[in-house]
């Protein structure tokens, strides 16, 4: 397979085997990425007759060559999050706009970010990360002008690597009252809340072995919040609470994503739908989650997650005051 721009028109990466340095591709044609998660977009594309008849795999080098011959949009912003805290809502608001290419937790990106140094040295990994996002940032309709990436919750640990690739790209860390996040995971646990399911991860600890389900979730959530706090403090991230959505898109997040007033109105019109199940109306659930929390869960959260949450809230208030002061200093 040649590595010209034309050879890849309509194709997107759907998987990367870091050990073998092989990229799997799927033909999307002009299909927009608008499902709640990239895996849903992939599943929809794989149902196309063409993709049922043809599969395409290339060496990683072909991905790098494509970036050189046909560079895509550079990332406009990265969305990190603590899970179950409105990141999918925010992503769906942006994905509704023709000007936005919204990547929601793409597996190939996670594979590169978490690849071991033995399988893929950092220098190669950084080059591959830039090429991968260039592939996703291709203008396929001609209307695209912004690439936004929502990462998996556990990718907060790989944030420094991605920032070394894109040091000028702004990013935010979205979080929520840990009680509301934890209740959601107790009812339907994410894979990163089940020991061993994610594979090797900084979330793991031998000390988790003796904990209850409530303890495991609380401790892992505490690690996510603490790491988000650490990176926001050290690397300039924007701390955003779930309670700010969707209004934040029209105030302190508007410069991050560069939306026009008409785009903002269009994006806000999406807030009446359930983010993960767009065919359903949105229904607020914070109060119900708080009422259903057990005493055991509250105790574990107080031990592991409440402190980083309070510190994030303190940092957020500082950032809000600083943004307001900066706005007042602007002329006219």
The CATH number linked to 259 is 3.40.50
| Residue 227 lies inside a defined structural domain of this protein | yes
- Tell how strand 75-81 and strand 171-175 pair up: parallel
Instruction: List pLDDT tens digits, range 218-276.
Output: 999 999 999 999 999 999 999 999 999 999 999 999 999 999 999 999 999 888 655 55
Domain assignment present for residue 286? The answer is yes
The C-alpha atoms of residue 190 and residue 276 are separated, in whole angstroms, by 14
Q: Burial, 138: exposed, middle or buried (Cβ in 10 Å; 0-12, 13-18, 19+)? A: buried
Residue 282 has pLDDT above 90, yes or no: no
Query: pLDDT value at position 67?
Result: 95
pLDDT at residue 208 is higher than 50: yes
Query: pLDDT tens across 186-205, in order?
Result: 999 999 999 989 988 999 98
Residue 332 has a pLDDT of 57
User: By CB neighbour count within 10 A (0-12 exposed, 13-18 middle, 19+ buried), where does 48 fall?
Assistant: middle
In angstroms, the CA 246 to CA 88 distance is 12
pLDDT tens for each residue of 139-195? 988 899 999 999 999 999 999 999 999 999 999 999 999 999 999 999 999 999 999
The proportion of the chain whose per-residue pLDDT surpasses 90, expressed as a percent, equals 79
The predicted structure's pLDDT at residue 277? 55
Say whether 211 sits in a helix, a strand or coil: coil
300 domain residue, yes or no: yes
First to last CA, the chain: 57
CA distances from residue 62 to 67, 126, 189 in whole angstroms, order as listed: 9, 15, 37
Instruction: Report how far residue 61's alpha carbon sits from residue 69's, in angstroms, rounded to the nearest whole number.
Output: 12
Q: Can you tell me the mean pLDDT for 214-219? A: 96
For residue 51, pLDDT over 50 is answered with yes
Q: What DSSP line would sit under 219-273, residue for residue?
A: HHHHHHHHHHHHHHHHH-PEEEEGGGTTGGGGTTTHHHHT--HHHHHHHHGGGGB
| pLDDT at 1 exceeding the cut of 60 | no
State residue 276's pLDDT score.
58
Burial of 187 (0-12, 13-18, 19+ CB in 10 A): exposed
CB 210 within 8 A of CB 195: no
Burial class (CB in 10 A: 0-12, 13-18, 19+), 46: middle
The answer to whether residue 47 is domain-embedded is no
Indicate if the pLDDT at residue 44 is higher than 50: yes
305 pLDDT more than 60 = yes
State the DSSP string of 40-85. HHHHHHHTSHHHHH--EEEEHHHHHHHHHHS--PPEEEEEEE-SSS
**2: in domain:** no
Name the band, by pLDDT with cuts 50, 70 and 90, for residue 285.
Answer: confident
Q: For residues 86 and 90, what is the distance between their CA atoms, to the nearest angstrom?
A: 6
pLDDT at 92 (0 to 100) = 94
Q: Report the pLDDT value the prediction gives residue 273, as an integer from 0 to 100.
A: 58
Rounded percentage of the chain residues whose pLDDT exceeds 70:
94
CB 3 within 8 A of CB 65: yes
Q: Which domain holds residue 263?
A: 75-99+145-329
**Number of domains the chain is built from:** 1
pLDDT higher than threshold 90 for residue 290? no
Please tell me whether residue 286 adopts helix, strand or coil conformation: helix
Place of tokens 């936005």: 100
Please check whether residue 287 lies inside any domain of the structure: yes
Is residue 180, in this structure, part of any structural domain at all? Answer: yes
As a dihedral over the C-alpha atoms of residue 187, residue 207, residue 81, residue 171, rounded to 10 degrees, the angle is 180
82 lies in a domain? yes
> Does residue 280 surpass a pLDDT of 50?
no
């Amino acid at each position: 397979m040649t590595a010209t721009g034309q050879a890849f028109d309509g194709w997107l990466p759907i998987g990367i085997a870091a050990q073998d340095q092989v990229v799997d591709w799927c033909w999307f044609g002009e299909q927009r990425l608008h499902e709640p998660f990239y895996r849903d977009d992939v599943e929809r594309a794989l149902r196309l007759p063409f993709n049922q008849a043809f599969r395409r795999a290339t060496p990683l080098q072909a991905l790098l060559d494509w970036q050189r011959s046909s560079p895509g949009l550079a990332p406009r912003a990265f969305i990190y999050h603590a899970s179950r805290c409105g990141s999918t809502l925010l992503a769906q608001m942006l994905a509704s706009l023709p000007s936005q290419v919204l990547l929601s937790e793409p597996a190939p990106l996670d594979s590169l970010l978490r690849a071991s140094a033995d399988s893929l040295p950092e220098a190669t990994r950084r080059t591959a990360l830039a090429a991968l996002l260039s592939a996703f940032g291709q203008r396929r309709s001609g209307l695209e002008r912004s690439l936004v990436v929502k990462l998996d919750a556990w990718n907060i640990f790989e944030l420094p690597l991605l920032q070394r690739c894109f040091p000028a790209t702004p990013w935010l860390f979205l979080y929520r009252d840990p009680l509301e996040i934890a209740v959601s995971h107790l009812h339907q646990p994410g894979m990163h809340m089940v020991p061993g399911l994610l594979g090797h991860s900084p979330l793991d600890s031998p000390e988790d072995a003796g904990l209850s389900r409530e303890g495991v979730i609380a401790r892992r959530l505490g690690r996510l919040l603490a790491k988000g706090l650490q990176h926001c403090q050290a690397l300039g991230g924007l701390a955003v609470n779930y309670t700010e959505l969707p209004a934040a898109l029209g105030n302190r997040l508007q410069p991050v994503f560069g939306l026009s007033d008409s785009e903002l109105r269009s994006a806000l019109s999406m807030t009446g739908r359930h983010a993960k199940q767009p065919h359903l109306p949105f229904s607020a659930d914070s109060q119900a989650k708080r009422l259903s929390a057990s005493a055991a869960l509250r105790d574990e959260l107080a031990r592991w997650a409440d402190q980083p949450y309070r510190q994030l809230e303190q940092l957020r208030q500082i950032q809000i005051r600083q943004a307001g002061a900066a706005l007042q200093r602007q002329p006219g």
